[in-house]
Amino acid sequence: MSLLRVEQVSKHFGGLVANHEVSFNLEEGEVMGLIGPNGAGKTTLFNCIAGFYPPTSGTVRFNGEDITGLKDFQVARRGLARTFQIFEASGDLKVVENVMVGSFIHTGSRRRARRTAESTLEFLGIAEAAGAMMTELPVAAQKRVALATALASDPKLLLLDEVGAGLNPSEIEGLVGLLQRIHREKGISLLLTEHVLEMVMAMSHRVIVLESGKKIAEGEPSEVVKDPEVVRAYLGDHYVKRQEREEGRDA
């Protein structure tokens, strides 16, 4: 049984078709990448899966249950956590308190929530920041806290929307290592969007490519990058034709 089954999901905003009949399965323990050029509909698809808004048509099944049309907080309680692309740190909460909000999903006890939060921070290597205010931290650390908060809710599947955005190459490297540990040691399945392609390619078992709201390719990263449709989506018709010409000359 697949952990996540997305069947024929479409999302329209008025006349705009953001997603058109997208289907895919994500198996338990899998790391899957969702890529595509800007505006391909990646975040919309995430939002439909996470219950941020309902899809116009199609169904989403999680862990065997039809979750189409459930509210985002109901989906979260079933073990599907997410991070947001735009993350604004603000406010009153210390780092550890922020993470505790995540752990309160399964317990009413402050003691237990605090213990979960502290061990999660430790796992992500930011235990020393526990007492700091969010606004005092650099962006990379804030993103780790957001990740910790999602992790503290003990999810089965984690949707990561552009976690690498705004980070420098060495920070991305650290993040990849971290996500791989999350996957390996906690056994959490990952679905990530990214337009930093190296990151997705390095991590994913399988990749799905969206363009203009439609799925145009699916497969292992090494296969997908060779797919002419994908090359065309990323680099344009012009490039594909030139490549074909050059290949013809070589032969």
Using only C-alpha atoms, the chain has a radius of gyration, in whole angstroms, of 19
Q: Residue 101 interacts with another protein (CB under 8 A)? A: yes
Question: Are 149 and 104 within 8 A, CB to CB?
Answer: no
Candidates 205, 195, 201, 206; CA nearest to 234 is: 195
From candidates 44, 153, 189, 193, binder to another protein by CB under 8 A: 153
Task: In angstroms, give the least distance from the CB of 215 to another protein.
Answer: 24
Q: Residue 160 interacts with another protein (CB under 8 A)? A: no
- Contact region with another protein (CB under 8 A), list: 23-31, 105-113, 182-190, 215-223: 105-113
Q: Residue 92 interacts with another protein (CB under 8 A)? A: yes
Total residues contacting another protein by CB under 8 A comes to 32
Q: Residue 48 interacts with another protein (CB under 8 A)? A: no
Q: Residue 97 interacts with another protein (CB under 8 A)? A: yes
> 41 vs 79, which CB is nearer to another protein?
79
Candidates 217, 203, 191; CA nearest to 46 is: 191
Q: How far apart (Å, rounded) are the C-alpha atoms in residues 220 and 105?
A: 35
Q: Residue 50 interacts with another protein (CB under 8 A)? A: yes
| Burial class (CB within 10 angstroms; exposed 0-12, middle 13-18, buried 19+) of 109 | exposed
Q: How far apart (Å, rounded) are the C-alpha atoms in residues 216 and 236?
A: 14
Task: In angstroms, give the least distance from the CB of 126 to another protein.
Answer: 18
From candidates 3, 113, 147, 210, binder to another protein by CB under 8 A: 113
Tally of CB atoms within 10 A around 219: 15
Reading the block at residue 124, the tokens are 């992500």
From candidates 13, 27, 69, 71, binder to another protein by CB under 8 A: 71
- Alpha carbon dihedral 100, 105, 106, 107, in 10-degree steps, equals 50
- Cβ contacts of residue 150 below 8 Å, gap of 6+? 81, 82, 83, 102, 158
- Contact region with another protein (CB under 8 A), list: 23-31, 85-93, 184-192, 229-237: 85-93
From candidates 3, 130, 145, 150, binder to another protein by CB under 8 A: 150
Task: In angstroms, give the least distance from the CB of 152 to another protein.
Answer: 9
Q: Residue 118 interacts with another protein (CB under 8 A)? A: no
Output 244-250 pairs: Cβ under 8 A, ≥24 positions apart. none
Residues that bind another protein (CB under 8 A): 50, 52, 71-73, 76-77, 81-82, 84, 88, 90-93, 97-98, 100-102, 104-105, 107-111, 113, 146, 149-150, 153
